[in-house]
Chain A
Amino acid sequence: MAKGIETSANEKAFIIDALTQGVRTDGRKLDEYRDVKISLGSQYGSVDVTMGETRVLCRISSEIVAPYEDRPFEGLFTVSTEISPMASPMFEQGRQSDDELLITRTVEKAVRRSNALDLESLCIIAGAKCWSIRADVHLLNYDGGFIDASCIAVMTALQHYKKQDITVSGEQVLVHDFSERSPVGLSILHVPICVTFAFFNPHGVEQNIKGDAKEIYVVDPNMQEELLKHGILTVTINKNREVCQVSKAGGLPMDALTLMECSHKAFTIAEKLTNDIKKLIEEDDLQRKGSQWKMLSASNDR
């Protein structure tokens, strides 16, 4: 599949054999999500996510622009995903492969189409001025789970980000510097989390379609598993039990009941991750507040 990577038949057979025995090569259980390490940058809206060897960086930026003509009451939000050979030589420069397209589209659908960010809150003067929020996702190293990591990175960054406060007087907009007024966070409606499942078919296709053998699925496949998978499913869900996006772009057919099972598993994972992220942001907030108080009190002293 991926150009340049040759997986030997021995390896394929071994991994599938291991999966049928419920063992994964990296020692995880079949339904075990990798540990997600999230580190927040010193600036608002800069997040670094690590899952196994996969590493993703997200940075949020904002500016004031004119809204779209047909949507005068909404601000703008764009997600751009940058997949370069830096992540792995299998991604070619300047040419988007089908896989890259699906990664980009899925992240965009998960975050943007599901209205995770309240666009109406970005409106400043209807039809004239609004905030444009931009999330730049850079994939630094590839070991599977790009969609999941990107989604976590964007959602954490959005929650972390704070933009300058503004004052509107008539047609005039006054942007206050961070030192002048404390910055304001974005209004996040919900936190969608993507969970990717890889499917393996240890038997022939005939068995899958006509027989009653079930396909094996693993949560959060690493690169090796992604290369060998027969099908892939990404479920995006938030902790309000809302499924925001499901994409299973062909590949191995899977049972409808399996889908339900996967969705419920995804929910458990999403709930835990959402709470983790929340905690992390709160801690960071506290820390920043602490240092701010110090600064403020320092200025008061003067």
Chain B
Amino acid sequence: MDGRRWNELRRFQCRINTHPNSADGSSFVEQGNSKVVCIVEGPMEPPSRSQLSATEATLNISLNVTPFSSIDRKRRNKNERRIQEIITSLKRTFEQSIITDKYPRTTISITCHVLTLDGGLISAVTNSITLALIDAGIAMYDYISSVSAGFYDNTPLLDLNQLEENDLSYLTIGIVGKSEKLALLILENKIPLDKLEGVLAIAVAGGHRIRDMMDKEVRRHGELRLSKLANK
């Protein structure tokens, strides 16, 4: 609808280590016009004893969709069920992908700020968390890359913007590395069963492309650090 082909991603840009002085890991992801900042702190001593698990790390995620993120300014209630649901889903996704038993008795605290939102909330947030966790040097089994895909007039469409999301049926997936394993899958409106496979297929392909772009950024940043560390 915005001049892209059906299997084309929106502009995807990401940066890691955006807040080197204030966090263990940080990232900034732009997926189309959606912009997300993610800050990771930890693994660290938990703020309260009750949160402690003797066998693995405890994950805390907070998601802040800023009032100015949408075209019409609106203040969102933090306890909105939809936001809480997303948080729970993200938590369960990353609990599986972080090697949590390497960090017993610690907390990993993740904060995401959505600065502008133009569709793909879950995917932009998921990607930003993956990058920030990698930046923090937290052990993970693999990348989790996320993208949405919709369905319009018998054609699957990749990576929807807000307008498309409002009108079309779509799903959001979180995919593990280069595999076809889905860590996260959320579909909220009707898609014919027989079309599901096609939509899923382009989503998986799109997810892999996003993984590659994130990987490139991680490597770029890594090279930069290494070239500086050559001075050690």
A residues near B, CB below 8 A? 98, 101-102, 104-105, 109, 113-114, 205-206, 208-210, 231, 233, 237, 241-257, 259-260, 263-264, 267
Contacts of A256 in B (CB 8 A): 180-182, 200-201, 204
- Residues on the A chain within 8 Å of B185, using CB: 233, 246-248, 259
Q: Is the CB of A255 within 8 A of B182?
A: yes
Q: Is the CB of B181 within 8 A of A254?
A: yes
Q: How far is the CA of A105 from the CA of B188 in the complex (A)?
A: 11
B66 to chain A, nearest CB (A): 23
Q: For window 142-187 of chain B, which residues contact chain A by CB distance below 8 Å?
A: 142, 171, 174, 176-177, 179-187
A205 to B181, CA, bound (A): 12
**B88 with A113: CB separation less than 8 A:** no
New A-B pairs, 10, CB < 8 Å, besides A243-B196, A248-B185: A98-B91, A102-B88, A104-B81, A205-B99, A245-B189, A246-B171, A246-B186, A249-B85, A255-B180, A260-B196
Question: In the complex, which residues of chain B have a beta carbon less than 8 angstroms from the beta carbon of A248?
Answer: 182, 184-186
Decide if A237 touches B193 in the complex (CB within 8 Å).
Answer: yes
Minimum-distance CB pairs A-B, first 8 = A250-B92, A250-B93, A249-B89, A253-B181, A246-B187, A248-B185, A241-B193, A253-B183
How distant is A70 from chain B, measured CB to nearest CB, in Å?
12
List the B side residues contacting A101 at CB < 8 Å. 81, 84-85, 88
Instruction: Check if A257 sits within 8 Å of B180, measured CB to CB.
Output: yes
B179 interface neighbour in A104, A209, A247, Cβ under 8 Å = A209
From residue B174, how far is it (CB to closest CB) to chain A in Å? 8
How many chain B residues have a CB neighbour from A under 8 Å? 42
Whole-angstrom distance between the alpha carbons of A233 and B81 in the complex? 19
Contact B96 A250 (CB under 8 A): yes
Whether A259 lies near B191 (C-beta < 8 A) is no
User: Shortest beta-carbon distance, A260 to chain B, in Å?
Assistant: 6
Partner of B141, one of A113, A114, A205: A205
